[in-house]
Chain A
């Protein structure tokens, strides 16, 4: 397939692996920020092919995984109300709340629908004027422009039966939270390519400088990831700590100004709770006051739902890269993709699910 096969070429992969091997002289710990990158690393077996010196830890960049339990509970409460059509990205349906998941709500008669874009939810709202249509607006900077556009259009077109349950999170504050943590082990980042295609990478320059850590903007195909690792290792070995763009075919320094303007118009920055991590200051978005009428939390009075997370699940430590998924005592036992305790076991981008799905719970030689 054009623009994909080129980035999955086995001979070029081997060449990059050889270069990484030739460059590395000591142990380095790198974090891939995005869940899509984690998925690709495990799916392609990249972690098995890397030199021993390089340890990859899996970052908090899975939007499904970091959405706090209480937001899931709010979604479940709204979806269970009569007269509601609750629309969501597919993989949110299986995320366990404190008592059930959206699949269960659906099986009990709730109208829960999978959509691929918030604009599809807006269309459903237009076609069902007698119903309240709620879209579950989660994700990082990547999904924000489309979500912002849906709210913007709802207001412009006067579609009053549409609203959004917003739990948007931002990548740079999470990276800073990891770097400033006393237990931090991360020495270099592969930054999330898709996020940067929207936001650019100017925000990372002060981070790299302040914490003396190389940050390489990285894509998602096997060669993208190997190239990101190669550049991060090269910087570390040379004692440099710079921001580099290894995903030039999608990312510019300034990002996508039109998308940023749309987001800026609809959302404002707030403190946001991350599942398993806690509150990170200035790390999320909510609707600006002029769009507050489209805020599902207010419309359906679920703003005061608070929930405690499972004490057994250690997804917080997994999300911060402090433990590997298979080091959690519940991994593969009480907690499986079928019966997930934490969200990292739910989404295929979640580190725990990726480990389970691709068999990283045993040593396997073929």
Chain B
């Protein structure tokens, strides 16, 4: 088998061809990655950031507080429309940061919220969003402890943008991160993939189609607690948001220097999501999720983790979908339904509906 040099794939002059920010820079795929790698990381470099997990984990021993580790994460929400089947931007903003913290194994505790409001936004719209945030925070068991509001001129925003930041505590003995995935590990997903992205797509201007697909937005800290109780030795957790399962697993393969083999047939996909993806020429494994997680665990623990996930309300449709291997490091390979194989690469830019 040929050795693959991942370094040679990337463009020697990244960002070169995009003097302006394009939508793809926010798509969670290659362009987003370039922005982080070539702009933000060099500017802000430090050890906590360099881990590139969903949350930064800081060992307070360095601050003279032995034993305790703090997880910190931040995320901004710019979803359009603000209200969509199955959720709204407020619920999403709370769950998104709770989930990012949870993916480091942390117990999320406190959130902050920053609002950027567009002049003219009806107050009752903001009221509904804030109530929905409060409900989501109660549900997740976190407190919203600080906030900020700015207003921009009409035409300079889509109604509401929300940033949430959060902190949590990582329990002793829990060591979770993308770089810990090891050959032999088993890859599990907590349920059907692609629901959130297709729910948003179904109500987007110009593309709207009739369907009962609903966003899967949910706080995953409860599910993570159940997983950790069944298996404290979990290697990696990830919530496959933008860029979907394919991009998340690619990032893990690259961070850990391992290969991942995905069994396409075993990935749970809601039939309505599959139909919508077929119609639009998209692949569900590239579509965003907001209430699902990927768990990578040592093989001997996979049964226990699967059972723990399936016993939780948010993991009923959990499944084993693949395995980590020492072969083809840095690459995600799918076994196709009819027995062939293909490489599944990072998404480039945004997912685009095909012409026919």
- Is B353 within 8 A of A91, CB to CB? yes
Contacts of B11 in A (CB 8 A): 336, 338-339
Segment 171-186 of A: residues with Cβ below 8 Å from B: none
- Is B22 within 8 A of A64, CB to CB? no
Report the Cα distance A4→B278, complex, angstroms.
10
Residue of B with least CB distance to A353: B348
Q: Name the one of A43, A106, A222, A349 contacting B342, with C-beta atoms under 8 angstroms.
A: A43
Contacts of A337 in B (CB 8 A): 348
Report the Cα distance A104→B16, complex, angstroms.
13
Report the Cα distance A347→B4, complex, angstroms.
25
- Is A94 within 8 A of B338, CB to CB? no
The smallest beta-carbon distance between A35 and chain B, in angstroms, is: 9
Residue of B with least CB distance to A358: B342
Q: Name the one of A44, A90, A108 contacting B336, with C-beta atoms under 8 angstroms.
A: A44
Residue total for A at the interface (Cβ-Cβ under 8 A): 60
The smallest beta-carbon distance between B286 and chain A, in angstroms, is: 11
Residue of A with least CB distance to B327: A366
Q: Does B356 have its Cβ within 8 Å of any Cβ on chain A?
A: yes
Contacts of A94 in B (CB 8 A): 349, 352
Segment 180-224 of B: residues with Cβ below 8 Å from A: 205-207, 209
Contacts of A107 in B (CB 8 A): 18, 20-23
The smallest beta-carbon distance between B355 and chain A, in angstroms, is: 4
Contacts of A10 in B (CB 8 A): 337-339
Residue of B with least CB distance to A92: B355
Report the Cα distance A90→B351, complex, angstroms.
9
- Is A143 within 8 A of B22, CB to CB? no
Residue of B with least CB distance to A36: B356
Segment 199-230 of A: residues with Cβ below 8 Å from B: 222
- Is A106 within 8 A of B22, CB to CB? yes
The smallest beta-carbon distance between B89 and chain A, in angstroms, is: 21
Report the Cα distance A4→B9, complex, angstroms.
35
As a 0/1 sequence over residues 6 to 24 of chain B, the CB contacts with chain A under 8 angstroms (1 = contact) are 0001010000111011111
Report the Cα distance A363→B281, complex, angstroms.
27
Q: Name the one of B2, B9, B271, B340 contacting A45, with C-beta atoms under 8 angstroms.
A: B340
Q: Offer 18 A-B interface pairs, CB within 8 angstroms, sorted by A.
A: A1-B274, A10-B338, A45-B338, A46-B338, A90-B353, A91-B352, A92-B355, A103-B23, A103-B24, A107-B18, A114-B207, A338-B31, A338-B349, A347-B354, A358-B345, A359-B342, A364-B341, A366-B333
8 A-B pairs with least C-beta separation: A45-B340, A359-B343, A90-B352, A13-B338, A90-B353, A358-B342, A107-B20, A89-B355
